[in-house]
Amino acid sequence: MGIVSGQVIDLNTQQPLIGVSVAVVGTKRGALSKKDGRFVITKVPAGVFSIKATLIGYAPDVKSDVVVSSGKPTTIEIRLSSQEVQLGETVVISEAFRTDGQSISSTQLLTSEEVRRAPGVQEDVVRAIALLPGVAVTQAGRNDLAIRGGAPFENLFLIDNIEVPNINHFGSQGSSGGPLSLINIALVRDVSLSTGGFGPRYGDRLSSVTNLTLREGNDQRFAGELNVSATGVGLIAEGPIGERGSYLFSARRSYLDLIFTLAGFGFIPEYWDFSSKVTYELSSTDKLSFLAIGALDKLKFNNTQDNLYNNSRVTAPSQNQYFAGLTWRHLLGNGYMNVTLGRTFTYYNTVQQDSLANDIFKTVTTEGENSLRADVVTFPTSSMELNVGAIVKYASTLDYKVVLPGFARLDATGTPAPLNVDTSFSALRGGVYAQADWAATDRIKITLGARGDYYAFLENNKVALSPRATLSYLLSPEMTLRLSAGRYYQSPQYIWLVGDASNRANLRPIRADQAILGWEWIATPDVKIQVEAYYKSYDAYPTRTFRPQAVLAPAGFDDIYTDIPFGLEPLTNSGTGTAYGIEFFIQKKLSASVPIYGLASISINRTQFVALDGQTRVGSFDTPIISTIAVGWRPDAEWEVSSKLRMSQGLPSTPYITTGSRAQETGFPVGSLDFDFFNQGARLPFFYALDARLDRRWFFTGWQLIVYVDVQNITGRKNVSGYKWNQQTQSVEAQASIGVLPSIGINIQF
């Protein structure tokens, strides 16, 4: 027998709800929430259940896919939405299809269980996001997300109200990608992705917002988990702190270094990550939570004679990072306030060697930033919601030491322009916002908001104003039509400022104007169908003086012989661009009546940019067609099988200079990218990958065992992620995936 505990709160005001009937569907077990909104249901049979919550004056809600074991207590949070009392039958809508009460377009929500069991994602929260519509992946095996044609650096990540520059191990400096997430999925309560139309609360990013909420530790007794996955081993501990608090701790260590060493690979990655969350209720209206997550990443070369050349074409990005935050939540009479004091810190040590194992490129960087943000949500009337807030960030520690040789930094005429930088500076920026949601009628809801940002570290255009608006029209109780429009700004990445002495004066905030028209239909309580069309217009996009045909749109970087790294070059804000498309999406949530879940999407997109040469070219992340189908079946509490098929048209490529005559004509050596034909080479081959996963659960007295087998790319297709010049053979080679990739995972909960 197991325990289900948690809290029931008002979706809008965050106030605890008293007297809510919480029942385990299919059993006779249940409980009523107390004055603090908390409930405890004991003697629940081990298995997978739906939890139903009902209260007069609120829409009934069901939380499906809740796993109960006789070991670790299960902790959930239930959020109910108020409604007028109605007679007759009431339809219960899954919480998964609810928003946070605002009229937000292009937003999807995944629970931690949906991420954990998704085939082919290796329990990685960022790879699970890539299943959603409008999201393209630059390379298989990496978490560089290109959302609606935007570069990965345009994506914002928040974890428990802390804005985090990068949530990946071995992250790409100046971008937001990397090979794998440092967030343990067992700590995640849910994750939402907004690919457009997000409100003014979120700023300094152009394309998307990924909002991760970590769960709290259970408040009943000590419990733990042991995880063994395809990449490493982890341990989780959690439990109560007195009667008002709880703690949650996780530590993971990879064993990729052991596998890569035994296999004789040329580079050896090793990582650790640590996560902790502590919550404590000071009173009935005040709550403190502390979050700290850190990672230690080290990549070293195995320089055997056979590996020397291959190692010379790879950068080794070792790094240490952490982010932490203390949040105070205070309940108001008609709303709530959150105040978060945060800190992010990253130390990069990136090196590339020549074929004699001598360092030829090296950058040592320290980026630390402190933040303070406050958000207030109030409901002055029953038909209006007001959101106001502010954030200030102070980067007190920005140190850069860069050595980049001239052959890897050629100017527009092919003349070497080496870079040697040893500098430090600080940066201050901040923003304020306000938004009002008004239910004008039973069918019409209007959202108006604006944001103002101030960038003190820039010399020009320090102030950016961003108006945003959404109109929602309820066609029927289950069907909504939305129109959103807004302006978005993003400041240059800090490392771009040290790429040339002129960059501080030349660079200013990047702008994107967006418009979205969407139709959403909750066809059944567990099925949603959505269609959205969008248009983005870019202005003041960073352009490259040394490569006048290209705008700066970096993703994962791995070779200085291919291109200038990290934006370490002269830059201006002269670029313009457009991205537009249409997306079709259908999602089926797991329910007690139909134990089948899945999603299907198809995105049709186009992206174009104009750089300094004035020519219109397709964007580096232009993916005209992206399609994903994922489906799973859980016949009972013990077995689960799922599969995923992902297909997309290949990204554009730039050809290489392959002849001496062309090298003489351009001034660039053979083996260089021919930027006169930037993004005009052959597209990468059509991508498709079929993944499958099988999960088996065993419920024992006092503990639970989960074993899964996950096979990626079961057809063995060697998908091409790019082309690279081979100096030894003097030819262009395709960079292809390894084919079938099976893995086994074990999870023990006690």
Residue 694 lies in a domain: yes
**pTM, rounded to two decimals:** 0.93
Element (DSSP H or E) covering residue 107: strand 107-111
d(CA 610, CA 543): 9
Average pLDDT for residues 504-526, to the nearest whole number? 95
pLDDT at 95: 54
Segment among 208-222, 294-308, 562-576 with least mean pLDDT? 294-308
Question: CA-based angle 557:559:565, to the nearest 5?
Answer: 55
Q: What is the mean pLDDT of residues 150-166?
A: 95
User: Do residues 419 and 499 touch, judged by C-beta distance below 8 A?
Assistant: yes
Q: Please list the residues that pair with 558 across neighbouring strands.
A: none
| Percent over 90 (pLDDT), the chain | 78
The fraction of the chain above a pLDDT of 70, given in percent, is 97
Q: What is the per-residue pLDDT for 84?
A: 55
Amino acid at 484: S
The answer to whether residue 568 sits within a structural domain is yes
Q: pLDDT digit string (tens) for 578-601? A: 999 999 999 999 887 889 999 999
Beta carbons of 405 and 360 less than 8 angstroms apart: yes
Q: What is the CATH number of the domain that holds 168?
A: 2.40.170.20
Instruction: Kindly tell me if the per-residue pLDDT of 471 is higher than 50.
Output: yes
At residue 88, the pLDDT reads 44
**pLDDT bracket for residue 258 (50, 70, 90):** confident
**pLDDT the model gives residue 87:** 43
Q: State residue 96's pLDDT score.
A: 58
Token pair recorded at residue 590: 């797991």
What the block records as the tokens of 326 is: 């203390």
Q: What is the pLDDT, as a whole number, of residue 522?
A: 94
Query: How many domains would you assign to the chain?
Result: 2
99 falls within a domain: no
Collapsing DSSP to helix, strand or coil, 125 comes out as: helix
- Using 50, 70 and 90 to split pLDDT, how confident is the model at 93? low
Could you tell me whether strands 162-164 and 463-476 are parallel, antiparallel, or unpaired per DSSP bridges? unpaired
Range of the structural domain that residue 200 is part of: 107-739
| pLDDT for the residue 263 | 74
- pLDDT recorded at residue 85: 47
Whole-angstrom CA distances from 190 to 4, 69, 186, 210 are: 18, 20, 10, 11
In this structure, the answer to whether residues 286 and 334 fall within a common structural domain is yes
Locus of tokens 């080479």? 681
CA distance 112 to 526: 17
Q: 572, 566, 565: which is closest to 551 by C-alpha?
A: 572
pLDDT of residue 303: 87
The helix (run of H) or strand (run of E) holding residue 548 is none
The answer on 438 and 568 residing in a single domain is: yes
Domain-embedded: residue 747:
no
Mean pLDDT of 217-240: 92
| CATH code, 27 | 2.60.40.1120
Q: Which tokens hold the place of 320?
A: 């240490």
d(CA 509, CA 309): 40
Distances (CA, A) of 304 to 309, 356, 558, 561: 10, 11, 20, 21
Question: 542 with 620: CB under 8 angstroms?
Answer: no
Predicted pLDDT of residue 86? 47
* C-alpha to C-alpha distance for 451 and 466, rounded to whole angstroms: 5
Whether residue 454 sits in one domain with residue 353: yes
The stretch 292-298 carries a mean pLDDT of 97
For residues 59 and 195, membership in a common domain is answered with: no
My answer on whether 175 and 39 are in the same domain is no
pLDDT in tens, 318-343: 999 999 999 999 999 899 999 999 99
- On whether both 36 and 126 belong to a single domain, the answer is no
The whole-angstrom separation of Cα 16 and Cα 10 is: 6
DSSP state of 656: B
Confidence at residue 256, expressed as pLDDT on a 0 to 100 scale: 81
Instruction: Give the pLDDT score at 100.
Output: 46
Please write the tens of the pLDDT for every residue from 353-381: 998 899 999 999 999 999 999 999 999 99
> Mean pLDDT across the stretch 463-475?
96
DSSP string, 11-72: TTT--B-SS-EEEETTSS-EEE--TTSEEEEEEEPSEEEEEEEE-TTB--EEEEEEEE-SSS
* Integer Cα distance of 129 and 135 in angstroms: 8
Is the domain of 389 the same as that of 505?
yes
DSSP alpha helix (H) spans, 455-595 = 503-506
Residue 750 lies in a domain: no
Question: Are 84 and 124 in a shared domain?
Answer: no
If pLDDT is split at 50, 70 and 90, which confidence band does 102 have?
A: very low
**Where a domain ends, among 90, 117, 149?**
90
Domain presence at residue 208: yes
Same domain, 248 and 185: yes
Examine residue 9 and state whether it is found in any structural domain, yes or no. yes
Out of 90, 124, 143, a domain closes at 90
**100 assigned to some structural domain:** no
Clarify whether residues 457 and 580 are in a common domain.
yes
**Do residues 84 and 112 share a domain?**
no
The pLDDT tens digits for 618-654 are 999 999 999 999 999 999 999 999 999 999 999 999 9
Calculate Rg over the CA atoms of the chain.
26
At 440-454, the pLDDT tens digits run 999 999 999 999 999
- Where does a domain end: 39, 56, 90? 90
Instruction: Indicate whether 557 pLDDT > 80.
Output: no
Q: Is the pLDDT of residue 719 over 90?
A: yes
Does residue 89 register a pLDDT over 50?
no
Rounded mean pLDDT, 712-723: 93
Is there a contact between 639 and 610 (Cβ–Cβ < 8 Å)?
no
Q: Where is average pLDDT lowest: 91-95, 130-134, 174-178, 497-501? A: 91-95
Q: How confident is the model at residue 117 (pLDDT cuts 50, 70, 90)?
A: confident
Report the phi/psi class of residue 357: left, alpha or beta, with left for phi > 0 and alpha for psi in -120 to 50: left
pLDDT score recorded for residue 580? 98
**Cα(152)–Cα(142) distance, integer angstroms:** 11
Question: Which tokens sit at 287?
Answer: 């709550």
Across the chain, what does the average pLDDT equal?
A: 92
Asked whether residue 181 falls in the same domain as residue 39, the answer is no
